[in-house]
Structure 1
């Protein structure tokens, strides 16, 4: 298994919403509330979010499901925003495990939530505080993201 990069989310990220979940039955409400929050903030931006809400809802569901199933309650889901990116931060209270990418498991063995997050997000990372373990993912306009300077090779 491969480990995720360890770092906090972008330091300038501002908290927009916080949801606290205790059971998987609350995931449906989370999805609807996250869609509504993103729609609200889309109206405040200069352009549409395209598929960002769909990608974020899918990743939020996967990460929150993992936190509820394998972590210690409560699970906290935060929606943050920087100048150009939305940040999804999912925390649980299990400090005994380190998030790992399940890249060597058979496809039907599960454990693909972090790989899915990496596929749909700009960046994915994790960090721990004294009480919580956080997995975060950033989402933004692909054009904006793709326009970032890339390292050159010679």
Structure 2
């Protein structure tokens, strides 16, 4: 995962959530699905967005330092997900050489689903981001 800020412009805001535990993620997923269903989003692309957002937020909660803030914005071609946690000096690390049954493949999933992504430190916090296309692959 590259160290860089996103270069995409946002056109709107779908939501901002502040999370302290993974137990809050089902409610966030449901709210995000409701917002997407109210619009004209391709159902498959919307499903990818929800899964990617869940993975990034889950990683921030499990491997970063809560509280975690997740922001989902619209772009001209899809969505931008940004997840900020308190582990500003710790870069996101993809699991390499690990048995998939042991987990740790979230960043691999994000890379496969997202169009672009990266991370950057800012004032003692870390933001991991990814973009998702609004049309299903």
TM-score by length of 1: 0.79
Deviation of 1:141 after TM superposition, in Å, equals 3.9
- Give the ranges of 4+ consecutive aligned residues of structure 1 lying more than 3 Å apart after TM superposition: none
Residue aligning to 1:120: 113
What is the alpha-carbon distance in structure 1 between the residues aligned to residue 114 and residue 66 of structure 2?
A: 25
1:90-129 per-position Cα deviation (integer Å, ceiling 9, x unaligned): 1111113111221322212221110010111111211121
Give the SS at the match of 2:43.
coil
- The answer for unaligned runs of 5 or more in structure 1 is 147-154
CA gap of 1:14–1:128, structure 2 versus 1, over 3 A, is farther
1:57-88 per-position Cα deviation (integer Å, ceiling 9, x unaligned): 11222221111112111111100122112111
Aligned length: 136
What is the alpha-carbon distance in structure 2 between the residues aligned to residue 11 and residue 137 of structure 1?
A: 10
What is the alpha-carbon distance in structure 1 between the residues aligned to residue 125 and residue 35 of structure 2?
A: 24
What is the alpha-carbon distance in structure 2 between the residues aligned to residue 73 and residue 141 of structure 1?
A: 29
Deviation of 1:52 after TM superposition, in Å, equals 1.4
CA gap of 1:96–1:128, structure 2 versus 1, over 3 A, is closer
Bigger-Rg structure (1/2): 1
What is the alpha-carbon distance in structure 2 between the residues aligned to residue 73 and residue 91 of structure 1?
A: 9
What is the alpha-carbon distance in structure 2 between the residues aligned to residue 141 and residue 28 of structure 1?
A: 22
Structure number with higher strand proportion: 2
What is the alpha-carbon distance in structure 2 between the residues aligned to residue 93 and residue 64 of structure 1?
A: 13
81-90 vs 23-32, greater mean Cα deviation = 81-90
TM-score by length of 2: 0.87
Residue aligning to 2:45: 52
Residue aligning to 1:24: 22
Residue aligning to 1:7: 4
